[in-house]
């Protein structure tokens, strides 16, 4: 059996839904922004990095209707957050991975489970 077959099958299932041009930004934009601000954060008293992720990047509960590319970018972001936390743990940093919920926005659509106001309160 061709080991690439399952991946090919997964990606071809989304062939009618190409990745968004913003998909690389979901990962690389965060990495570049974090790297740019780290010198300032290291000088501060509240050493916190918050990364906006999604359960779409979770291996454990993959029920998302998002494109494969979006899910992969969020899984990569989750790993980046994990590695960043390990790299900065000796310097007193807290790295948080946040999932805002399926929010009724332009991206989340009308089927979203919560309103923006509820998402931003963190409840």
Residue with tokens 């929010």: 103
70 catalytically annotated: yes
Domains of the chain: 5-121 (3.40.50.720)
**Selected residue with higher pLDDT from 4 and 121:** 121
Contact 110, 59 (CB under 8 A): no
Has residue 1 got a pLDDT over 80? Answer: no
Mean pLDDT, all residues of the chain:
76
What pLDDT is attached to residue 8? 41
Catalytic residue among 42, 47, 48, 70: 70
Percent of the chain, pLDDT > 70? 72
Contact 64, 113 (CB under 8 A): no
104 catalytically annotated: no
Q: Note the pLDDT tens digit of each residue in 8-58.
A: 444 444 445 555 666 677 788 889 999 999 999 999 999 999 998 877 777
Catalytic residue among 74, 80, 83, 104: 74
DSSP state string for the chain: --TTHHHHHHHHTTTTSPPPTTHHIIIIIHHHHHHHHHHHHHHSS--EEEEE--GGG-SSS----S-HHHHHHHHHHHHHHHHHHHHHGGGT-EEEEE---SBSSTTT-TT-SB-HHHHHHT-
pTM assigned to the model = 0.70
Residue with tokens 């780290």: 38
């Amino acid at each position: 059996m061709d080991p690439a077959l399952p991946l090919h099958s997964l990606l071809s299932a989304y062939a009618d839904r190409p990745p968004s041009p913003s998909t690389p930004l979901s990962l690389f934009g965060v990495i570049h922004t974090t790297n740019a601000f780290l010198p300032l954060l290291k000088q501060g008293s509240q050493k916190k990095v918050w990364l906006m992720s999604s359960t779409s990047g979770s291996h454990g509960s993959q029920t998302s209707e998002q494109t494969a590319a979006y899910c992969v970018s969020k899984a990569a972001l989750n790993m980046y957050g994990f590695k960043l936390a390990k790299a900065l743990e000796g310097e007193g940093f807290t790295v948080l991975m946040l999932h805002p919920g399926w929010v009724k926005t332009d991206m989340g659509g009308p089927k979203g489970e919560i309103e923006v106001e509820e998402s931003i309160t963190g409840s």
